[in-house]
């Protein structure tokens, strides 16, 4: 049966439509196209009503003139002149026959004209539209009615054929235009969908392949600078960052493995040394204390590493708010003042007031403490902490007058486990966490020699929070 045969075809067609419908590009183009058609349609309808209006005015004028002519005849030669004029007019137009006349006397008897019978007419004297019988056929037309002083009634009018033809033409034009536009819109939507799919396709393919682990892949570079090439560029930048972080993680785990080994070896050695029977209680105690100390150190180390990776992952940013770096620095300087005094180092703070930084107070204090801690380790007799809020950035500098470090080593400062001076105690994580804290705050870390050409100056620059 026909119905059965058409069902699979319909279903296939439906599937195709729904597939296209699920494409954003298709929907957007289609909706946009339909909107355009709608606006054009409104415009065309406006033009249509204007044209019809003009034609009607023209017709009305034409009928008016004919009426005036006949009235002139009546004034000159009475009703017979009018009858003659009508007969003449009808005879002239036998071929075209567009003017319509009917003249009746007061009793409704036809005196002249080509219209069969008087029609029901509205009470007013203006233009009206109606159907009449012309040579046995019904025709539509626009008419005016005039009553002569002797009681004769004149129906004068014009066939509507011309207006109808023009309006038909316009409507046909509109119809054809809309149909064509619809076809173009659907076609356009399809083409756009194809293009869209092609542009997104590269991105999708790359994303699909990166998922299982091919992290070095990048989205092919697109020419031009449209939205898609921007998107590709942004995605590539994101991938670069992810890859960098993952490489960092790999590097760190290698280093951790290495750094864990050393204390583990030491612990093992300590335990081995008291493992034999007859080890003294004092010896055992020393070994246990030593191992406990090593474990504490390892614990601290792991804690710091965890903190750094937490910082690098940017988890802490949700606790950010406007903080006064001058007060934070003052608190930390206060904490370290006793230690500085103990080491006979002058720890001085020079801070601009209201140095506001968007950030986390605890982390900023932590960074500051790390820098002061370092500076106090190496300083000869002065450590100067400065907070400046005058320029483009809010700057914290910590400067010591110690031995400083060679220029080439400054490049590696801030790497995890990097320690230019291994004679001092430390884990090699202080500057790494400072670096992580600063970059979490969107700032930068720089190293240079101190003011006198000696020592080390560490400079943290934080962006000023947007005012307002």
Partner 1 sequence: MWRCLIIEDDCENARYIAKGLAELGHVSVICHDSVQALERATQSSWDVIILDRMLPNGVDGLAILSTLRSLGQATPVLVLSALTGTDEKISGLNAGGDDYLIKPFSFSELVARLNALIRRSQAGADQRRLQVADLVAYLDSGKVERSGKPIALQPRELRLLTYLMLNAHNTVTRTMLLEHVWDYRFDPQSNVIDVQISRLRRKVDAGQATSLIHTIRGAGYTLSDRVPAAEAG
CA-based diameter of the chain, in Å? 159
Among 292, 348, 411, 451, binds partner 1 (CB under 8 A): 292
Report d(CA 85, CA 100) in Å as an integer.
13
Q: Is 430 one of the binding residues for partner 1 (CB under 8 A)?
A: yes
Element (H, E) at 435: helix 430-440
- Nearest-angstrom CA–CA distance, 347 and 41: 81
Q: Counting contacts by CB under 8 A, is residue 296 touching partner 1?
A: yes
Those residues whose C-beta lies under 8 Å from the C-beta of residue 263, and which sit 6 or more positions away, are 294, 297, 298
Q: How does 375-405 read in b/e, with b if 16+ C-beta sit within 10 Å?
A: bbbbbeebbbbbbbbeeebbbbbbbbbbebb
> Do 113 and 152 meet the contact criterion of CB atoms below 8 Å apart?
no
CB of 412 to partner 1, least distance (A): 19
Judged by beta carbon, residue 205 or residue 319, the one nearer partner 1 is: 319
Cα 155 from Cα 142, distance rounded (Å): 10
Closest CA to 129 of 65, 55, 66: 55
Helix (H) or strand (E) segment spanning residue 191: helix 161-210
- Region of 87-95, 254-262, 311-319, 454-462 interacting with partner 1 (CB under 8 A): 311-319
Per DSSP, what are the bridge partners of residue 448? 457
Task: Give me the least distance between CB of 319 and partner 1, in Å please.
Answer: 7
Nearer to partner 1, 268 or 300 (CB): 300
Stretch that binds partner 1, among 43-51, 138-146, 207-215, 293-301 (CB under 8 A): 293-301
Q: Which of 44, 71, 179 is nearest to 125 (CA)?
A: 71
Q: Does 306 bind partner 1 (CB under 8 A)?
A: yes
Closer CB to partner 1, residue 210 or residue 340? Answer: 340
**Position 315 contacts partner 1 (CB under 8 A):** yes
Among 50, 214, 299, 407, binds partner 1 (CB under 8 A): 299
Among 53, 122, 403, 426, binds partner 1 (CB under 8 A): 426
State the number of binding residues for partner 1 (CB under 8 A). Answer: 33
Nearer to partner 1, 23 or 374 (CB): 374
Least CB distance to partner 1 at residue 334 (A): 6
- Close Cβ partners of 284 (under 8 Å, ≥ 6 residues apart): 274
Instruction: Please say which residue, 70 or 365, places its beta carbon nearer to partner 1.
Output: 365
Name the minimum Å distance from CB 440 to partner 1: 13
Compute the Cα dihedral for 124, 125, 130, 133 and give only its sign: positive
Least distance between partner 1 and beta carbon 413 (Å):
16
**83-91, 208-216, 299-307, 415-423 -> range binding partner 1 (CB under 8 A):** 299-307
Ranges of beta strands (E only) in 148-188 are: 153-159
If one asks whether residue 310 binds partner 1 (CB under 8 A), the answer comes out as yes
> Considering beta carbons, is residue 183 or 313 the nearer one to partner 1?
313
The residue (of 270 and 316) whose beta carbon lies closer to partner 1 is 316
- The residue ranges of DSSP E strands in 331-464, in sequence order, are 346-351, 356-359, 382-388, 393-400, 444-449, 456-463
Quote the CA–CA distance of 56 and 455 in Å, as a whole number.
99
Closest contact distance (angstroms) between CB of 465 and partner 1 is 22
Question: Applying CB under 8 A, does 421 fall inside the site for partner 1?
Answer: no
Q: Which residues between 366 and 405 bind partner 1 (CB under 8 A)?
A: 366, 369-370, 373, 376-377
The DSSP-derived string for 33-79 is: HHHHHHHHHHHHHHHHHHHHHHHHHHHHHHHHHHHHHHHHHHHHHHH
Confirm or reject binding of residue 321 to partner 1 (CB under 8 A).
Answer: no
300 near partner 1, judged by CB under 8 A: yes
Give the list of residues 6+ apart from residue 370 with CB closer than 8 angstroms, or none: 430, 431, 433, 434
> Which is closer to partner 1, CB of 17 or CB of 338?
338
Please spell the DSSP secondary structure of 112-158, one letter per residue.
Answer: EESBSS-----SSSS-EEEEEEETTEEEEEEEEEEE-TTS-EEEEEE
| DSSP-assigned beta bridge partners for residue 131 | 140
Q: Is 427 in the site for partner 1 (CB under 8 A)?
A: yes
Query: Does 336 interact with partner 1 (rule: CB under 8 A)?
Result: yes
Residue closer to partner 1, measured from CB, 303 or 321: 303
Interface stretch with partner 1, choices 48-56, 194-202, 243-251, 359-367 (CB under 8 A) = 359-367
Site for partner 1 in 61-100 (CB under 8 A): none
319 binds partner 1 (CB under 8 A): yes
Q: Is 303 in the site for partner 1 (CB under 8 A)?
A: yes
Interface residue with partner 1 among 307, 357, 401, 462 (CB under 8 A) is: 307
Cβ neighbour number for residue 96 with a 10 Å cutoff: 8
Q: List interacting residues with partner 1 (CB under 8 A).
A: 289, 292, 296, 299-300, 303-304, 306-307, 310, 315-316, 318-319, 331, 334-336, 338-339, 341-342, 362, 365-366, 369-370, 373, 376-377, 426-427, 430
């Amino acid at each position: 049966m026909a119905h059965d045969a058409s069902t699979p075809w319909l279903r296939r067609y439906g599937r195709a439509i729904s597939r296209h419908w699920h494409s954003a590009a298709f929907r957007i183009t289609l909706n946009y196209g339909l909107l355009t058609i709608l606006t054009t349609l409104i415009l065309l309808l406006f033009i249509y009503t204007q044209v019809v209006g003009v034609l009607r005015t023209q017709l009305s004028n034409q009928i008016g003139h004919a009426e005036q002519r006949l009235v002139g005849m009546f004034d000159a030669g009475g009703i017979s002149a009018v009858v003659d004029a009508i007969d003449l007019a009808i005879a002239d137009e036998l071929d075209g026959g567009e003017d319509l006349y009917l003249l009746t006397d007061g009793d409704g008897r036809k005196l002249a004209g080509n219209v069969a019978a008087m029609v029901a007419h509205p009470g007013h004297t203006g233009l009206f539209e109606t159907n009449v019988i012309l040579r046995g056929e019904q025709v539509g037309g626009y008419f005016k009615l005039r009553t002569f002083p002797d009681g004769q009634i004149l129906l004068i009018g014009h066939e509507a054929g011309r207006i109808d033809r023009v309006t038909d033409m316009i409507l046909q034009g509109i119809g054809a235009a809309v149909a064509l536009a619809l076809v173009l819109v659907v076609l356009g939507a399809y083409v756009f969908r194809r293009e869209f799919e092609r542009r997104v396709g590269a991105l999708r393919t790359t994303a699909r392949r990166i998922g299982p682990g091919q992290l070095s892949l990048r989205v092919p570079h697109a020419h031009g600078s449209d939205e898609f090439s921007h998107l590709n560029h942004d995605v590539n930048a994101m991938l670069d960052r992810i890859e960098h972080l993952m490489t960092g993680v790999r590097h760190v785990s290698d280093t951790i493995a290495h750094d864990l080994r050393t204390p583990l070896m030491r612990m093992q050695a300590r335990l081995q040394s008291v493992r034999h029977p007859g080890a003294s209680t004092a010896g055992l105690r020393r070994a246990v204390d030593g191992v406990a100390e090593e474990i504490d150190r390892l614990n601290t180390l792991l804690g710091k590493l965890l903190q750094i990776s937490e910082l690098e992952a940017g988890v802490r940013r949700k606790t950010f708010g406007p903080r006064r770096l001058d007060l934070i620095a003052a608190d930390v300087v206060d904490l370290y003042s006793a230690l500085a005094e103990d080491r006979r180092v002058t720890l001085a703070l020079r801070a601009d007031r209201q140095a506001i930084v968007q950030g986390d107070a605890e982390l900023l204090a932590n960074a500051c403490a790390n820098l002061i801690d370092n500076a106090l380790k190496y300083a000869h007799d002065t450590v100067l902490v400065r907070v400046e809020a005058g320029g483009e950035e809010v700057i914290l500098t910590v400067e010591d007058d110690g031995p400083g470090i060679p220029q080439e080593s400054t490049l590696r400062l801030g790497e995890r486990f990097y320690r230019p001076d291994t004679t001092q105690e430390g884990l090699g994580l202080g500057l790494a966490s400072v670096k992580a804290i600063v970059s979490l705050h969107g700032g930068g870390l720089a190293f240079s020699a101190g003011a006198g050409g000696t020592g080390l100056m560490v400079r943290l620059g934080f962006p000023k929070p947007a005012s307002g």
